Amino acid sequence: MQKQGINSLVWFRNNLRVEDNSSLTKAINNSVNVIGFINIDPRNFISTKYGFKKTEKFRTKFFLESIAELKNELDKLNISLIITHDYPDKSIPQIIKQYEINKVFLQTEWTRDELIEDSYFPKDVDLIKDFDQFLYSPTDVKTLYENIPRGFSNFRKKCEKYLSVDDILPIPKPLNTDNKIQIDYPIPTLPDLGFKLFKNHTNSVFKFKGGEINGKKRIDDYFFNTRNVSNYKLTRNGLIGENYSSKFSPWLANGCVSVKYIYNQLKKYESEVDQNDSTYWLYFELIWRDFFKYVSMQHKDKFFSRDGIYGDDKQWSTDLEILSNWINGKTNEPFVNANMIELLETGFMSNRGRQNVANYLTKELKIDWRIGAEYFESMLIDYDVHSNYGNWLYNAGIGNDSMPFRKFNPKLQSERYDPDKLYEKIWLND
């Protein structure tokens, strides 16, 4: 039996961590009993009309690893984790009733597939929602902008000049052991979710595991052990190896670490080790991440519409043969092909590659940008709805690019970023 008092449920979604987690901290500070909750929605594994699953094996594997680590970290706080695999409108009322929940703490989401209906919850349950995925809080940004500007530069400069980043929240103190509700839900396996077990590809540049501890290890290694961040601006357009870029994005996308935690560690590095153009450029990229979140928040469903945010009525193609050649690396451009094969085999692709293949699909092949964005959503380990769709809009010329007719030449891009064709040889001769 539970003790009398407030019984709280913390619904973990894209915030799979214990440090700098507003929902978890508030629940612990305002409750007698706290339970963690994760719902794995079956709709995330259905096939789209173009033949690929909404979430493929690479994202799923990283997600399950992150859940496993979260469960261990919550156990240290004397908090059990419920894991369900059902439609949320069914699982949530059942869990609330079974464990006599008074309050539910969760992270606010606003995009199409991430929205949570308040109708899922009984009316006598308090919902406490937080924006917990930003560098600069929505409350502070609201003081600068009623409407987010089209261009990133204006947004960045004002944020840098007028706003500050909030302190991170520490890992909460453990609850009294007497208050732990003893439950043990198993973590699903890949086969449970319809996938075969697999090993990382030999040539993958991303062989890391999900979870908060692993994310912090990567940050510590990239900053303090190797000091690779001091060369970030020079190497960020690389294609080969694990250290040409930070590779923080999968942990950020799942909320295994917060963006404020990375900022905090970056400032520590600048104070204790080195501060230069490269360390600034990593901060610059974190602001880009915020920018796309605010753009999606402002434009709502236009963020996913055929004509985009600022686009004209374009005649997009849905030619399945052309699309299949792009997906399987069988276009007329070796540089595009190499990047697409890397994604197909590993679930990861460099930033330089992503810009090229997206630009090529939309501006050369004239394929509907939403199909490309949907394919990336399926495949990318670091899929984040705001950055993914924001970048696709940008590359398709119907988003926040100040030069919407910008078109990459894959041959020139290959000559510049892969002059010896080492990258192409890895993936085209594998």
Per-residue pLDDT tens digits for 210-240: 999 999 999 999 999 999 999 999 999 999 9
Residue 1 has pLDDT above 60, yes or no: no
Q: Tell me: the pLDDT tens digits for 347-360?
A: 999 999 999 999 99
* pLDDT attached to residue 177: 81
Q: Tell me: the pLDDT tens digits for 112-154?
A: 999 998 999 999 999 999 999 999 999 999 999 999 999 999 9
pTM to 2 decimal places: 0.96
Residue 374 has pLDDT above 50, yes or no: yes
Helix axes 369-379, 351-359, angle to 10 degrees: 150
Instruction: Place 430 in a pLDDT band, splitting at 50, 70 and 90.
Output: low
Q: What residue ranges define each of the domains in the chain, with the CATH number in brackets?
A: 1-132 (3.40.50.620), 133-166+211-298 (1.25.40.80), 305-428 (1.10.579.10)
* pLDDT attached to residue 404: 83
* pLDDT attached to residue 209: 98
* pLDDT attached to residue 5: 65
Residue 185 has pLDDT above 50, yes or no: yes
CB atoms within 10 A of CB 80: 19
Closest CA relative to residue 258, chosen from 79, 390, 130:
130
Q: Tell me: the pLDDT tens digits for 308-348?
A: 999 878 899 999 999 999 999 999 999 999 999 999 999 99
* pLDDT attached to residue 3: 46
* pLDDT attached to residue 4: 52
* pLDDT attached to residue 402: 80
* pLDDT attached to residue 406: 87
Span 54-74, mean pLDDT? 98
Helix axes 410-417, 334-346, angle to 10 degrees: 70
Measure the CA–CA gap between 232 and 246, rounded to whole angstroms: 8
Instruction: Place 2 in a pLDDT band, splitting at 50, 70 and 90.
Output: very low
